[in-house]
Amino acid sequence: MDFYLGLLQIIGVHTLLGLSAYVLLLTGQVSLAQAGFMAIGAYVSAMLTVLARWALLPSLLAGGAVAAVVACLVGFPALRVRGLMLVVATLAFGEAVRLFFFNFDYQIAMGGIRVGPLGGEGFRQIRYFPENGWTTFEVMLFIWMVVGAVMAALWWMDRSRAGAVLRAVGEDEVAAQSAGLNLTAVKVSAMTLGGFIGGVAGGLYAHYTTHIEQGNFNVLVATFAIAYPILGGLSNVFGTLAAVVFIQGFLIEGLRFLGDWRNLLFGALIVLAMNVRPSGLLDAKSMAKDLSALRRLLEAVRDGVATRWLIERLKDARAEARRLLAKWRGAFGA
Amino acid sequence: METIVDLLQSIADGLLFGATYSLIGIGFTLVFGVMHKINMAYAAASVAGAYAGLTLLELAALPGPMVILTACLAGAVFGLAIYYLCFRLIPLSHPLATLMSTVGMLLLVDEIVVHLTAGMPVNYPTVVRGMVSFGSFLLRGDLMFIFAVAVLTMAALMYLIYRTRLGLATRAVSQQPVAAQLCGMSLGQVNALTFTLTGALGGIAGALIGSAVGLLSPLLIAPLTVKGLIVTVIGGLGSIPGAIIAGLLVGAAENVFQFMRGVTERDIYVMLLLFVFLVFRPGGILGTDPARN
Amino acid sequence: MLELVDLSKHFGGVRAVDSVSLHVEMGEIYGLIGPNGSGKSTIVNLITGLIEPTSGRIVLDGRDVSGLATHQRVAHGIARTFQNIRLFGQLTVWQNLWVAENRDRQQRAQPVLPRWLWGSEADRERLGAALEFSGLGHKRDDLAADLSFGEQRRLELARALAAEPKLLLLDEPAAGMNVQEVEELDARIRRVRDTGVTVLLIEHHMELVMAVTDRIGVLNFGQKIAEGSPATVQNDAKVREAYLGTAA
């Protein structure tokens, strides 16, 4: 039972991580820095609860706030680099943050022992939950309340003018400027919001694992962060959630019998998914097309014309296969 | 006096080693120049090429220095494979998908290497030993050899690109893909050849790095990816001369930072170097002006 | 309303725009014509701020806007349409209008945050009216990418007007239109002017330009070579030479 609770906790935190990248992707900014913001939020909030004995919620918010401020500062120079250079710059920033914490020591003596972050060793004994009598179940519930709140806020934002503005900037910056939108304000705001969400994710992570170190916020994690919204599609927030559930739940845990080969499968899956469905494996619009196809099949069954319908579909499939084959042949020959 | 010599030593060693960074940077920048996309799996393929080269070497029982050749061949094959798996079939209208697929490929290659080597570092042949000394200032033989091979490779590449029809085709495609096609060039073929070429380059770079360090480990992949990308950006996306200069610069800077602040803090300063460039010269040292649109 | 003072833009050795001075009166429809490559599109991009001039000034309604960013110029009342339609294809028709913003006017009506988050009733009414005006009311929730070509052109225009401009720049709006569509465009341009907006029309379509404009400026190789009423310009020898290439 504890195992499944733990899994739900991971899914929750990673959903927040994915959402922090989602906001940025809407504006067209691909950021590999989200793991860095997560690290900042993790260390700050943990230091507040452990060293300054703050309550949990204010610490989480403070962690998010500090991450947001850093994100805002990063947002401005980020404007000067376009597209792929931004990927590199944010990757470098994320690594810089990780390396910073690798060298970061701040320990004080409390109750006879020294507590606090210690460079490569990391930050141990983040014992807020155990000390205050939280059960694993309660922790999981709390995490999901936060996730729920963030998802609701982003869902609502998506339907508001802000959502349209973010997507307009992401789609065509020149048109957006010419329509009167302030690109700097929009993009930096998105970066700040993404930083905040990432920071909160980090704070939750630090407290439920009770021990964090710089290796927890590396390039792989940064990759997961953007993988979720890309695989889940940018149509809405649920795509990201679905991608997290799929990857963490099904792939990593469900395929545990594959042992060490899981990660290999993860890489292969991504390559495959991007080739088969570039707009995102779990993208809402593509899935809608699939669902309506399914609906039509069921209607055909209901109307008793299933066989005829199936034959038509097989004919279509054969034509499609021929087309694909021609494309593949072209790929290898042309 | 001692310290100045040590400093000069760091710079010299760094410059010589930096030639390998230049090669990696060239690989990233060539692909970007032709396809306007980054192949995130490039450094991983280079290291994998070095591994494969070593295996081939042992299988064919060839002498040590030939590892550069076998790694080059292996790298070329991997480069072509990446092209087909990550670029060929994904439509241009989904740039995120291409990026993501190369990231997936990076993870895949990393995992495969870890599995096949059980995570243990592997010894790599050092081609040239010995050194030339000027008092307490040393020029390491192996580093000089690496530098020489790298320079030769770059020269060969420049020749290929600027003086052959293949190179002309590559440049034409990067500047005007539609017009190039209308002139009868097959986009797919040119791109495939570009990837094969950069793959070969990467294989050589991987072998050289392995020689310099004395061993290969999957742990090399992530830092090499980051540093390679930094070199590409500092040099200017799409600029080969820029990548060459930037590679040497990063190599030297890295060593100097290490000399001044130690290994653990070294990379932070390399990142800072990148940010300085991004703030003051986002187009890179020799890059083209960042386009307005 | 709009004044270009000695405006120049050089790209390396190429003088795309060479010391052009002109002014557009409030409420008039001013046409800008010239052969391909004469600098028309460059001038539009200079006026809206997408590129910076090498020298010269741009004055809008008495205010020098030469140093302002694009969105600030929109706030001061400049709006434009694009030659190759640049709609937000993945947004709905309604959303395309909704994001258009004239910060100045709207800020006076309502504070920033609520407007950014849920828009305002006044906005909804105004944009609803704009939708009806361009005949797209029934397509409100369709994706812009799914509209027909003619509908997309209408949406481009509606979006530009949604920013409540004082000056509207139309960049070759008649491109790709048939005769009937051009007639409708003519009527629409006049209706826009009747609402008090000044129009600067860049066009190749001669019949439209001659019919709808009050004055015309002619560019060739980045320089203004003639200016005046449609009749005057039509009879100008330099203009004929520029278009036909021979001394007539």
Q: Neighbours of A (≥3 Cβ pairs closer than 8 A)?
A: B, C
First to last CA, chain B: 52
The candidate with the shortest Cα–Cα distance to A176, out of C88, C103, C161, is C88
Burial class (CB in 10 A: 0-12, 13-18, 19+), C194: exposed
Alpha-carbon distance A270 to nearest alpha carbon in chain B (angstroms): 5
> What residues of B are in contact with residue A102 (Cβ under 8 Å)?
264
* pLDDT at C221 > cutoff 50: yes
- Structural element, H or E, at residue A112: none
d(C-alpha A103, C-alpha A98), whole Å: 9
Q: Best mutation site among C99, C105, C121 for testing chain A: the one with the most A CBs within 10 Å?
A: C99
Alpha-carbon distance A178 to nearest alpha carbon in chain B (angstroms): 12
Strands (E), C66-197: 78-81, 167-171
Tokens of B231: 């070199």
Nearest CA in chain A to C118: A160
Tokens of B66: 């030939």
Question: What's the sign of the alpha-carbon dihedral C238, C243, C245, C248?
Answer: negative
Looking at the complex, does the CB of residue A270 fall below 8 Å from at least one CB of chain B?
yes
Neighbour tally for B162: CB within 10 Å = 11
Whether residue C42 contacts residue C94, with contact meaning beta carbons closer than 8 Å, is answered with no
Whether residue B280 contacts residue B287, with contact meaning beta carbons closer than 8 Å, is answered with no
Could you tell me how far CA B177 lies from the centroid of its own chain? 25
d(C-alpha C54, C-alpha C14), whole Å: 12
Whether residue C101 contacts residue A177, with contact meaning beta carbons closer than 8 Å, is answered with no
Could you tell me how far CA A24 lies from the centroid of its own chain? 11
Alpha-carbon distance C246 to nearest alpha carbon in chain A (angstroms): 39
d(C-alpha C19, C-alpha C9), whole Å: 8
Q: Any residues with CB less than 8 A from the CB of A131 and at least 6 apart, and which?
A: none
pLDDT digits (tens, 9 = 90+) for A192-212: 999 999 999 999 999 989 889
Whether C102 and A180 lie within 8 Å, measured CB to CB: yes
Lowest mean pLDDT among A70-79, A278-287, C59-68: A278-287
Whether residue A29 contacts residue A160, with contact meaning beta carbons closer than 8 Å, is answered with no
Nearest CA in chain C to A158: C117
Could you tell me the pLDDT band of residue A60, with boundaries at 50, 70 and 90? very high
Give the relative orientation of helices B141-163 and B187-213 as an angle to the nearest 10 degrees. 170
d(C-alpha B160, C-alpha B165), whole Å: 8
> What residues of C are in contact with residue A157 (Cβ under 8 Å)?
117
Q: What is the dihedral of CA A74, A77, A79, A83, to 10 degrees?
A: -90
d(C-alpha B206, C-alpha B42), whole Å: 11
Exposed e or buried b for every residue in C143-169, given b needs 16+ CB within 10 A?
bbeebeebbbbbbbbbbbbbbbbbbbb
Nearest CA in chain C to A153: C117
DSSP string, chain C: -EEEEEEEEEETTEEEEEEEEEEE-TT-EEEEE-STTSSHHHHHHHHHTSS--SEEEEEETTEE-TT--HHHHHHHTEEEE-SS----TTSBHHHHHHT---HHHHHHHS-HHHHHHH--HHHHHHHHHHHHHTT-GGGTTSBGGGS-HHHHHHHHHHHHHHT--SEEEEESTTTT--HHHHHHHHHHHHHHHHTT-EEEEE-S-HHHHHHH-SEEEEEETTEEEEEE-HHHHHT-HHHHHHHHSS--
Q: Best mutation site among B193, B254, B268 for testing chain A: the one with the most A CBs within 10 Å?
A: B268
Alpha-carbon distance A66 to nearest alpha carbon in chain C (angstroms): 22
d(C-alpha B55, C-alpha B64), whole Å: 12
> What residues of C are in contact with residue A168 (Cβ under 8 Å)?
88, 91, 95-96, 99
pLDDT digits (tens, 9 = 90+) for A117-173: 888 788 888 888 888 888 888 889 999 999 999 999 999 998 888 899 999 999 999
pLDDT at C195: 86
The candidate with the shortest Cα–Cα distance to B208, out of B153, B255, B263, B130, is B153
Whether residue A306 contacts residue A300, with contact meaning beta carbons closer than 8 Å, is answered with yes
Strands (E), B120-255: 122-123, 131-134, 137-140, 215-216
Alpha-carbon distance A194 to nearest alpha carbon in chain B (angstroms): 18
pLDDT averaged over every residue in chain A: 84
Whether B105 and A77 lie within 8 Å, measured CB to CB: no
> What residues of B are in contact with residue A274 (Cβ under 8 Å)?
86, 90, 94, 97-98, 100-101, 104
Looking at the complex, does the CB of residue A329 fall below 8 Å from at least one CB of chain B?
no
pLDDT at C111: 57
Alpha-carbon distance A275 to nearest alpha carbon in chain B (angstroms): 6
pLDDT at C71: 87
The count of C-alpha atoms lying within 13 angstroms of the C-alpha of B1, restricted to the half-sphere facing its C-beta, is 3
Tokens of C137: 């009311």
Could you tell me the pLDDT band of residue A12, with boundaries at 50, 70 and 90? very high
CB nearest to C117's CB, from A162, A167, A168? A162
Residue A225 Cα distances to A187, A268, B171, angstroms: 18, 17, 35
Q: Any residues with CB less than 8 A from the CB of C123 and at least 6 apart, and which?
A: C98, C106, C115
Q: Which of B:52-91 have CB within 8 Å of A?
A: 84-86, 88-91
Report pTM. Answer: 0.83
Report, in angstroms and rounded to the nearest whole number, the Rg of chain A calculated over CA atoms.
Answer: 23
> What residues of C are in contact with residue A179 (Cβ under 8 Å)?
74, 79, 99-101, 159-160, 162-163
Could you tell me how far CA C64 lies from the centroid of its own chain? 19
State mean pLDDT over C30-53. 86
Could you tell me how far CA A301 lies from the centroid of its own chain? 40
Whether C115 and A161 lie within 8 Å, measured CB to CB: yes
d(C-alpha C227, C-alpha C77), whole Å: 25
pLDDT digits (tens, 9 = 90+) for C94-149: 888 888 866 666 565 555 566 555 666 777 787 888 888 777 878 778 888 888 88
Q: Any residues with CB less than 8 A from the CB of C66 and at least 6 apart, and which?
A: C53, C56, C57, C58, C59
Whether residue C73 contacts residue C84, with contact meaning beta carbons closer than 8 Å, is answered with no
> What residues of C are in contact with residue A182 (Cβ under 8 Å)?
69, 71, 103
**Per-residue pLDDT tens digits of chain B, which is 293 residues long:** 567 888 888 888 888 889 999 999 999 988 888 888 889 899 999 999 999 988 888 888 877 788 888 899 999 999 999 998 888 877 766 777 888 888 888 888 888 888 888 777 888 877 777 777 777 777 777 788 888 888 888 888 888 888 877 777 777 777 776 777 777 667 778 888 889 989 999 999 999 898 888 888 888 888 899 899 899 888 888 788 889 999 999 999 998 888 888 887 888 888 888 888 877 777 777 655 443 22
A105 φ, ψ to 5°? -120, 130
Q: Any residues with CB less than 8 A from the CB of C132 and at least 6 apart, and which?
A: none
pLDDT at C248: 41
Q: Which of B:141-180 have CB within 8 Å of A?
A: none
With vertex at residue C21, the alpha carbon angle to CA C16 and CA C27, rounded to the nearest 5 degrees, is 115
pLDDT at B286: 67
Whether B268 and A100 lie within 8 Å, measured CB to CB: yes
CB nearest to C86's CB, from A164, A175, A183? A175
ipTM: 0.83
Looking at the complex, does the CB of residue A146 fall below 8 Å from at least one CB of chain B?
no
Tokens of B28: 């990233």
pLDDT at C228: 85
> What residues of B are in contact with residue A105 (Cβ under 8 Å)?
none
pLDDT at A58: 92
d(C-alpha A142, C-alpha A137), whole Å: 9
Whether residue B270 contacts residue B36, with contact meaning beta carbons closer than 8 Å, is answered with no
C4 φ, ψ to 5°? -105, 125
> What residues of A are in contact with residue C118 (Cβ under 8 Å)?
160-161
Q: Neighbours of C (≥3 Cβ pairs closer than 8 A)?
A: A
Whether residue C24 contacts residue C30, with contact meaning beta carbons closer than 8 Å, is answered with yes
Lowest mean pLDDT among B111-120, C28-37, C238-247: C238-247
Tokens of A11: 């899914």
CB nearest to B230's CB, from A30, A92, A269? A92
pLDDT at C116: 58
